[in-house]
Structure 1
Amino acid sequence: MRYKTVPGLNDTSIFASDGDKITPIVVQAALELVSEGAQLITCNCGYSIRFQQAVRDAVDVPVFLSSLLLAPFLEMMLPANQALGIIVASKSELTQDMLVASGLRADIGRKLVIAGLEDTPVFGNGWVRAEGDLDVGGSQADLVDTAVALQKERPDIGMLLLECGDLPPYAYAVQQATQIPVFDFTSMVEFFVGGLVRKPFTGLI
């Protein structure tokens, strides 16, 4: 596994109205990773979906920069009477263009339910606004409370997708609290790696 820091890519630049100007720098980072032997390119920030197509066009390995790419797959698996819940770091920053870029249908309507964490007391301060120290327990509580509240509001939610790359450590707690399937960007990476490095078949367990 190799990591690459993208100079200038931060919360401010990724949400800026002219954020596309940083696309060439993101593409260059991906090209460098491929030159170093990377067999896939991913990113921990779900809002990096805005760079998905540009990076995909530039490299010759699979690219999945956002857990939002899982959304169409998960939504298609759900029964017709169930909805997909997505918990994001900041709901106000999630645009319709991002959802379309992930492959979701523009007319998905009530089949998609989104909740943001920007107003939560701990995660919102520590992660979204970068204020104070990291409080793991408090961040987990905020995420669990948000998920449970969303499920109470919409009991038809059949699966949850965590957009933010900072949320996987809390996915277990969310799944235990909601008792429905929970996915994040590590789910996407593990899915692909499972196909890339197959193991000998030893029978059904």
Structure 2
Amino acid sequence: MRYKTVPDLHNAGEMTSAVTHAATELVREGARLITSNCGYMIRYQEALRAAVDVPVLLSSLLLAPFLERMVPREKVLGIITSTASSLTPDLFEAAGLPANSKRVVVAGLENAPAFAAAFLNPCGDLDVSAVEAETVDAAMALLNDRPDIGMLLLTCSELPPYAAAVQQAIGIPVFDHTSMVEFFIEGITRRPFNGLV
């Protein structure tokens, strides 16, 4: 596994050349796929696909069209993200969803104190238990508000550690950034079939 940092990415609206440069360096160093640590990186998905010759999976939002097509017709896809207002129509379109889909509902964690302190405005240590509780609370509140949610996608790449607790609390399928990466890794490192488990 290799990493590249794109300085000041969180402060800039348009950093395509810097992100592309980091990805091409990773490929030169032997990377077989490119991913990122932020769901909002979906805005660079097409630019990186054009720049490198390996698969690009920048955001778990790439799962959204797939999940939206799998959820029963009378159900919707729920999304929990870091900041709901940042999940704009253009990002949905970049992921392959209609900009104003009626089959997707979003909740953010911007008002969750422990999450915000750890990830949005870093000002202290990560309180894992508190962030887990806030993530579970957000999922339960979203499902309470929209009982027609059939699947949940956690788009913030900081949330996979809490996916099991969320699923235990709400009882529906939960997907995240690691779901996407593991799906792809399974495709490039197939093992002999030993039956269904």
Secondary structure at 1:122 match in 2: helix
Q: What is the CA deviation profile of residues 111-130 of structure 1, one whole-angstrom value per residue up to 9, with x for unaligned ones?
A: 11100000112112221121
1:98 aligns with: 91
Percent same amino acid at aligned positions?
A: 60
Question: How does 1:132-151 map onto structure 2 within 5 Å?
Answer: 132-151=124-143
What is the CA-CA distance between 1:161 and the residue it aligns to?
0.3
Q: What is the CA deviation profile of residues 139-198 of structure 1, one whole-angstrom value per residue up to 9, with x for unaligned ones?
A: 111000000010011111000000111100111100100110111111000000001000
1:77 aligns with: 70
- In structure 2, the CA distance between the partners of 1:107 and 1:9, relative to structure 1 (3 Å rule), is closer
Q: Distance in 1 between matches of 2:7 and 2:142?
A: 36
Residues matched between the structures, number: 197
Q: Distance in 2 between matches of 1:2 and 1:185?
A: 17
Question: How does 1:33-72 map onto structure 2 within 5 Å?
Answer: 33-72=26-65
> Runs (4+) of structure 1 moved beyond 4 Å?
none
The answer to whether structure 1 residue 8 and structure 2 residue 8 are counterparts is: yes
Q: Distance in 2 between matches of 1:203 and 1:69?
A: 29
What is the CA-CA distance between 1:203 and the residue it aligns to?
2.9
What is the CA-CA distance between 1:51 and the residue it aligns to?
0.7
1:178 aligns with: 170
1:16 aligns with: none
Q: TM-score scaled by structure 1?
A: 0.93
Q: What residue identity is the alignment partner of 2:45? A: Q
In structure 2, runs of 5+ residues without a counterpart are none
